[in-house]
Each structure stands twice: as C-alpha cells, then as structure tokens.
Structure 1
Amino acid sequence: MNDIVDPVVRLTDVTRSFEQGGVKIDVLRGVNLEVRPGEIVALLGPSGSGKSTMLQAIGLLEGGFGGKIEIAGIDASKLGKDQRAAVRRDHIGFVYQFHHLLPDFNAIENVVLPQLITGKPRTECDARATELLTALGLGARLEHRPSKLSGGEQQRVAVARALANRPHMVLADEPTGNLDEATADKVFAQFLALVRGEGSAALVATHNERLAAAMDRVVRLHDGVLT
C-alpha cells in the first residue's frame, strides 16, 4: 500500500439532491468530512438519512454530486468516467449488506477476480486470496461456492474481496445488517481486525450504536449534514 499522509478521504461541502414528484429533496446539504489513514469511522443515522448516498459519493459510483470529493489526494470532481473507475479500482474496497458474490465461482475465485482486473499474475492473486480468507477463518472453505456457505461465511468472503487489492479506503454499508446478532458480532469483529491489520481506513455506515462504539470515531448524518 502506498503511503498517504493526507486524509484518505476529504469531503468539502458535498451536496446531493433528487427530484421526486416534482419536489426537490436535499439528501446531502453540505457534508464535510476527513478520514485519516488507518482510521475506522462509524457513520450513524436512521434509515433514509442518506448514509448510502454519502457512501456512493465517496465511492464515485454515480454523478450528480456538488462540492469537492478527494480520494487519496485526487480531486475526483475533475475526473472522467474511466478515471473515476481507476480510482475506485486502485484505492477503494466495498462491502455491502448483501454479499453480491458471483454464484458460479468459489470463495477463492471471488477474491481473485478483482485482483486479476488490475493485471496481477494469477499465482500472486491466489496467494493473496488464500491469505485473506484464512485470516477470516475460511481456510477450509476456499473451494466452496456461495450456495454452500452460510450467511456469515458469504459475508466474510465479501470482506476478503473488498480488501484484496489493498485499498486505502474500505466503504461498508450495513455490512452485517443481514445477519443474526451473534453472527454479526463475530463477522464484524473479524472485519475490524482485518482492516486494522491491513492498515486501511474504513467508513462504516450502520444504525447499530453498539457496533459503532467499537470504531475509532463516530459521525452522525442528520438532516443532510454531519454532526
């Protein structure tokens, strides 16, 4: 991972509005945030508060945002579609509430694929995938397809996939929201340990105060601004 001294993510007066039934809805109303290298930040807010929209902004997943978004020192607001895709590939990992694994590929292949896109040799990709999955307790499940894995195991594969390319920033949107409480606690503890061990920063959207308390810092999205 390249050394970054400045914030991994810096949002300056970020806005996002939608029109619904001819009415303008302001979801983000001037969001400002800095996340430092290695810092794990909880993004709290009730359902519908705009947490997912904010993660989409940081992940450069769609346009229509106002303000300035900087990723690893790069001003993303000045980038074209292909350049933004390159920033996502090189700097950002994603974990969603639902794992979105490819059903026809086994665990190790799901973690290998995003690495192959960057042009890394297959042997290096296999070794990295094995390392991550083993660290998450899946060393005996490498050849299993998602349908043969439990919900918690599937989500751990998704965590490994997000970290496969050694991202500077991991964006997690309710990463354990689809799991029962006991499984969620276990998977989230493993997620935190692995992210810290990798030295990545993370922004984790959640409505769970107990999970948020395990992170380095908590920010709250309320009425379109962070508090």
Structure 2
Amino acid sequence: MNDVVRLSGLTRSFEQGGVRIDVLRGVDLTIRPGEIVALLGPSGSGKSTLLQAVGLLEGGFGGQIVIAGKDASNIDAAQRTTMRREHLGFVYQFHHLLPDFSALENVVLPQLVRGTDRSECDKRARELLVALGLEHRLDHRPSQLSGGEQQRVAVARALANRPELVLADEPTGNLDEATADRVLAQFLELVRGQGSAALVATHNERLAMRMDRFVRLHDGVLEEGSVGGFPPM
C-alpha cells in the first residue's frame, strides 16, 4: 500500500525587502495510511507553509511531493485541484463556512462538487453532524452557531468525502481549552473511525500528545521524537 504522503527535500523561499528567506530547507516526511501526525512548531516556523505544500494549495516549492502514490511536484493548477478533491480534506483555525448556507448544506456541498448523488450527500452530512453532536443544529447558519459548533461543522465538511488525508491548521486554536479538547477528541475519533490519515499543525504539545506521532518544524527542517524529548519552543 502506498504512503499517503511522501515529501523529499521540500524547499520554499520568499523574497522580502530584497532579502531571501528560506522557510523550508529540505523537509522529508512520510505519512502512512491511517496515521495521525502532529506538526509542532511556534508561530512563524513555517507550519502553514508546509501544509500549503502538502495540500497542493500553491506552487513554488522545490523537492518532491507525492500524494497517494502520485507525484504532484510539478503538476498544473487544474491537476492540483483534482488531486485535492480526490484525496484531501482541510480544517483551518477559522472555519471558513459559507455564511448563506446551513450547517447541513455546508457539508453537502463538497460532496456535490465531487459528483456524489444528492441523497447520499444528505445522508453522509447528517451522519457526520449527528456524530459531532449537532443533530439539533442542522438547519442553522454559521452566524447562529457557537465557535465550537462552527468548527465541528468544518470538521464534518473536511471528512465528508472520506479523504485519504486530512490537513488541519491549528484546528482548535480559536477555541477555549474545554471546547478545544472536545472538538479535537471528536475530530480524532472520526478520522480514526474512517481510516483517514491526518497532519495536524499545532503549537499545543498537550493536544499533540493525543496523536500517533510527533514532528517539529525547526529552522526549516523536521525533527522527529517524542513531545517530551523536544527542546523547548
């Protein structure tokens, strides 16, 4: 079985004020099917840049990016869009829900885009939202939901198409501690339950300890080890 993700020598640089900034300086990473990996690092360390690379959200990266056995290093924008739709799901710190659509509709829409039958879309969306404790909020729009409820809808949306890999960028960073714990627990349970892999960027080592493996982005490269074994951020 192919690895879900394989990064080899990944690099990314930017020019700022005439100065070259090397954000990623040769990142190597492999994620196996069903594995949940915490990506640790302080703000500004390049976690979001790394997720953008794995998520095929932009070009400009050096090195090799392989997603679900397919080399995505030099594909064009249309091919990146297809690969995202077929293999990936996304959860961000801010939910980015469509404000004019209900919770149910927000989870139905990505399935429709993929070409799934409408009745199947509705069934899948309801199952996920009920599993996340939102059975009484299906017809509410984002503005009518609490922050924790909005993020749970975002989790359901990310999982709707049963992606092989879920990318989460500080998915509970905008929530209070108790709500963050609850949302993360539900997220991990659902991801594991459907057999997806996940790469979860966080600066919170306590939350990272609930995942299968930990890597830390430091000075543009990845370090592996236990949470307690890393030097302080």
The TM-score range, normalised by the shorter chain, is over 0.9
Percent of aligned pairs with the same residue?
78
C-alpha distance in 2, partners of 1:103/1:38?
A: 32
Which secondary structure does the structure 2 equivalent of 1:78 belong to? coil
Q: Which residue identity lines up with residue 9 of structure 2 in the other structure?
A: D
Which secondary structure does the structure 2 equivalent of 1:77 belong to? coil
Q: C-alpha offsets along residues 64-83 of structure 1, whole Å, 9 cap, x if unaligned? A: 00000000001001322111
> Which residue is equivalent to 2:80?
84
1:178 counterpart = 2:170:
no
> Which residue is equivalent to 1:7?
3
Q: C-alpha offsets along residues 58-113 of structure 1, whole Å, 9 cap, x if unaligned? A: 00000100000000001001322111100000100000000000000000000000
Q: Can you give the 5+ residue segments of structure 2 that lack an aligned partner in the other structure? A: 224-233
Q: Can you give the 5+ residue segments of structure 1 that lack an aligned partner in the other structure? A: none
> Which residue is equivalent to 1:111?
107
C-alpha distance in 2, partners of 1:140/1:213?
A: 32
> Which residue is equivalent to 1:135?
131
> Which residue is equivalent to 1:97?
93
Give the 4+ runs in structure 1 shifted more than 6 A.
none
Q: How far apart are residue 120 of structure 1 and its match?
A: 1.1
Q: C-alpha offsets along residues 152-201 of structure 1, whole Å, 9 cap, x if unaligned? A: 00000000000001100000000000000110010010000010001100
User: What is the TM-score when the length of structure 1 is the normalising length?
Assistant: 0.97
> Which residue is equivalent to 1:53?
49
> Which residue is equivalent to 1:202?
198
Match of 1:19 among 15, 20, 24: 15
Match of 1:147 among 143, 149, 161: 143
CA RMSD, 1 decimal: 0.5
Which secondary structure does the structure 1 equivalent of 2:175 belong to? coil
C-alpha distance in 2, partners of 1:195/1:42?
A: 14
Alignment coverage as a number of residue pairs: 223
C-alpha distance in 1, partners of 2:46/2:75?
A: 24
